[in-house]
Structure 1
Amino acid sequence: MWGKILGALFGLALLKLPGLLLGILLGHWFDKAWGRQFESSGGFAGLFGQQDEQGLFRYTTFATMGHLAKATGVVTPAHIQQASRFMADLGLSAAQQKEAQDAFRDGKVASFPLRQQLSQFYQVYRRRKDVLQLFVEIQLSIASVQGQITAAQYQILQQVAGYLNFSQAQLELLLQSYQAHSRFSSRKQQQHSMQHRLQDAYQLLGLQPTDTDTALKKAYRKLMSQHHPDKLMAQGVPAEMLELAKQRTQEIQAAYEMIKQQRSQR
């Protein structure tokens, strides 16, 4: 749509009526070739308002983390340690760390307006599903810090998912995938059996051992595209917030290679 509108305006300004028609034709070509990608990156808001978007992403991320941590009744040292580790992994500047800590503290307040904050967040990122998914995955990491998500935390995760237009089934799939990622990574360090790691690899990719090689490749490419750091940064995710996406792509690659190797030995 933007291509036809801008093409018509520029064409009319330069060449009057012939330019108007030519501009509409060129704009139509732009919309077909690049329009979807342009819209997914936030359109002109993504081009001119990215800094504000990134600030919104940071604040909403850490405030929601604080709200999830407080849902257990008390913010435990494990939650604080996980949040601090997450900040350290991101390589935040001193000013950014203070902003993150302030946002986390805001989220811990019982009266924190979660719905209002997430509604604002969704309005900005609603056309960028991969960004919304990354946000939910980050929240799963703080909710899972003690190894098990409490009923109160799960209820908040359901609210988060609902405000961001994720269904209950989609939240469950993201949770299962996150848990598989965690097991796959930890079992590599603990040298668990190949069979257990292979099971996690399949679940990480959302597959079953009976799925075809074509399905395997399709799932791999889809997940790599969803978590590609350059793509997410172009869609408004702050550069320092991409550590989780980088870890995900590494694990997805490792899981894919493991399954391929196992299948080649049949």
Structure 2
Amino acid sequence: MIASGLPNDWFKLCLGLLIMVAAPLFGRRLAQVVDPRSADAAAHRRRKAQRKARQKYIAENRQQIGFQYFKSTFLFAGHIAAADGTVCDSEKRLFDDFCARLQLDKAQIDAAQDYFQQGHSPDFSPTAAIDEFVSQCGMVPSLCESFLQMQFAFVEASGTVVAAEWGIVEMLSKRLRAESIYADALEEYRQSAALHAHARARARQQTHKRERDKQRFQAEKTKIEGENNNQQSKNQRDQQRETLTPAQRELRLAFAVLGLPPTRDKTAIKRAYRLQIKRHHPDYLLANGYPESLLAEATARSVKINQAYRLLKDRLKFR
């Protein structure tokens, strides 16, 4: 009887111990499910722990956090200011205003200017810079928000938003997990950047059109001036021709028959005469297969050459 009842007793004993151990745990878990206030309390405890950890981190790293905030703010301010290619006067005034609001002394202003200039540099890496900022200041939401607001101010300083500026603040917002907070502003910047890009494209097209029109006008002007110069030269030649006496015109025509410009070089005149008379002499032409039907024209040409040569000999007094 005892042997047969022992297993049942052991089973009851084990079951009782299990209930004693599991009941408190199960009860707390059930209480959390049934009573939502316990879940809120747990979340509150987590937030409190995070707040304490943040306060401890700030207390232990206050100087590094402040330096990183200062450095990153002016690095990205310079990067955004130069994103459109130039730093305008309004952006320079905003820089001075930030320095005044932060109550910086001369040494700090010089350092801010150095960081601002570094942001212009092609070697500046915005990804590395924001990673460094997040590692130091990411646990301080108020600093992250202030940092973003200052960058948004530089985007708006020039009055126009370009695509590069919008891309920078969008990257910063995503990296700081604030894109949902600034979604409206980012969308407005995106639309403004698109409109600005469209306007710049139209301006470039108009500039190119003006340049083409200017070049076309210049080409037409050059052509007209060339034609005018040619006409003036022709008129001058005509005037000179009109002022020549009959004897001068006759002499110039004689030179033209010999294929010479006006000259007093007797040797050149004789050489030109021999060359022309040889080319147009009937015997020379017949020997070279010239048609007999055209010999009359060649003979007339030879007569003109001889007349021109005799005229030049008489006028220039040589034999």
Q: TM-score, normalised by structure 1?
A: 0.50
Q: Which structure carries more relative contact order (alpha carbon 8 Å, separation 6+)?
A: 1
Larger radius of gyration: 2
